[in-house]
Structure 1
């Protein structure tokens, strides 16, 4: 559904991503792992059109979208759930859903979203800043779904959440993939995504250090952990 080919991108003329090749398939969760500063957020923002591409290509279902602006990519089916949720604090849940549901022919309607996330149905009149962290994350995902995405980009969706709530968010990502979406999920925590990931890519300083099948990673998680561990340098001899 989504492919990058030798993708390079960065800020103010500097490169953060260096030749990224990855594929996000329909009905799958592709997890991008890496420590802070590895380029995970830059990758998702580049795919969403918020960071310009220096070179390389981005293809959505075989169509080149590399030079499309962010709003055109959103209409084409790439939807970003940003790190930190970024909701409108003074708007209610119902108002968020109404604003997001602009494509009346989209597969996702407010009724379908509330059926998937019944907790939001109990909070329709609550302002976003009155919601718990988990409810805010569910609302951010609901808002993205209402744009009718084919590819859902989740940037650290469990950040700051209690373990049980984080598990619910990850289970939701798995359900959405099973329902037909291509999900690209960025996180620094391998343990959280190993149970649901169909594909894993590890980034280190803007480069792919490891890429492997999710089933293989579950059988040998040490391989993933090793890729996330910076190499130790031999101590220098004292003069």
Structure 2
């Protein structure tokens, strides 16, 4: 197995940590509206769309949680809030006790770089860079040396079974291989939390199952949130939070 760079989870700015058994993510009455500018259609209907409605839940460190529901149910918005990519209209989102909603844009960026790895549905690999260079990208921002970036990226590609594809461009890789590269990239800075938005959505059933197994295997003791409309994904999760029209309708272990 790939050696972890630490055994104790990092502390956030307020001193809280991601040690096993603690609360990794907390949502408290979170509501988010897109396009809430007060503008209305000629019919008088508000132009805004409510993506989340009074959503509350907690996720413990080390849990693998599936966020399920149809398209438009709010799954991606939850992940974006966890990663600090958006500030909800109201309510509080905490990451290891630190309220992301109270941080500045710079503060949320620092929290994301330190604590969160993101796996996108459509891979989001840079087409002009090799697999190894794509994995190493987050390490450039983290201040790693060129030598250490190469070593770390190579080790991660080995872990996801792509050591022989390190110099290949994304266009030379299959969909499953590209998603493996994306998973390796998400692990590059050794984050405490992995958020995966429909990680099998672009893959066939067999390849998707392989990628999902890999994702949960390499997560180790990290917290993982997986947004999916595919109920078969729940076979690898500890818990399922179901959303519909922006509200939590079930939370099952």
TM-score by length of 2: 0.76
Residue pair 2:132, 2:166 contacting (<8 A) in 1 also: yes
Matched, 1:91 2:125: no
The answer to whether structure 1 residue 210 and structure 2 residue 250 are counterparts is yes
Which SS does the other structure have where 1:184 is aligned? strand
Q: Is contact 1:9–1:51 with CA below 8 Å preserved after alignment?
A: no
The aligned counterpart of 1:194 is: 234
Q: 1:169-202 CA distances to partner (integer Å, 9 max, x unpaired)? A: 111222134x1110000000112x2221111000
Contact 2:30 2:93 in 1 (8 A): yes
* SS across alignment from 1:170: helix
**How many aligned residue pairs are there?**
209
Cα shift readout 1:10-29 (whole Å, capped 9, x = no counterpart): 31213211111122222221
Against the structure 1 CA distance between its residues 81 and 20, is the aligned structure 2 distance closer, same or farther, given a 3 Å change threshold?
same
Does the CA contact (< 8 Å) of 2:51 and 2:72 recur in 1?
no
User: Is 2:111 the partner of 1:73?
Assistant: yes
Name the structure 2 match of 1:236: none
Distance 2:157 2:131 in 1: 11
Q: Any unmatched runs of 5+ in structure 1?
A: 214-239
> Aligned equivalents of 1:148 and 1:18: distance in 2?
32
List, as ranges, runs of 4+ consecutive aligned residues in structure 1 with deviation greater than 6 Å: none
Distance 1:128 1:63 in 2: 36
Any idea what the Cα deviations from partners look like across 1:59-117, whole Å, max 9, x if unmatched? 111121224335223123022222211111111112112322233499x9324312311
Taking a change above 3 Å as real, the CA distance of residues 76 and 5 of structure 1, as seen in their structure-2 partners, is: farther
Moved more, 63-72 or 51-60: 63-72
In structure 2, C-alpha distance between the alignment counterparts of 1:90 and 1:159, rounded to whole Å: 24
Instruction: Answer whether contact 2:74 2:245 (CA < 8 A) is retained.
Output: yes
Structure 1 segment 102-117 matched on structure 2, within 5 A: 102=140, 103=142, 104=144, 109-117=152-160
- Give TM-score scaled by structure 1 length: 0.81
Instruction: Kindly report the root-mean-square deviation, in angstroms, between the aligned alpha carbons of the 2 structures.
Output: 2.0
Q: What are the ranges of 5 or more consecutive residues in structure 2 without an aligned counterpart?
A: 1-23, 37-47
Q: 1:2 aligns with which of 8, 14, 25?
A: 25
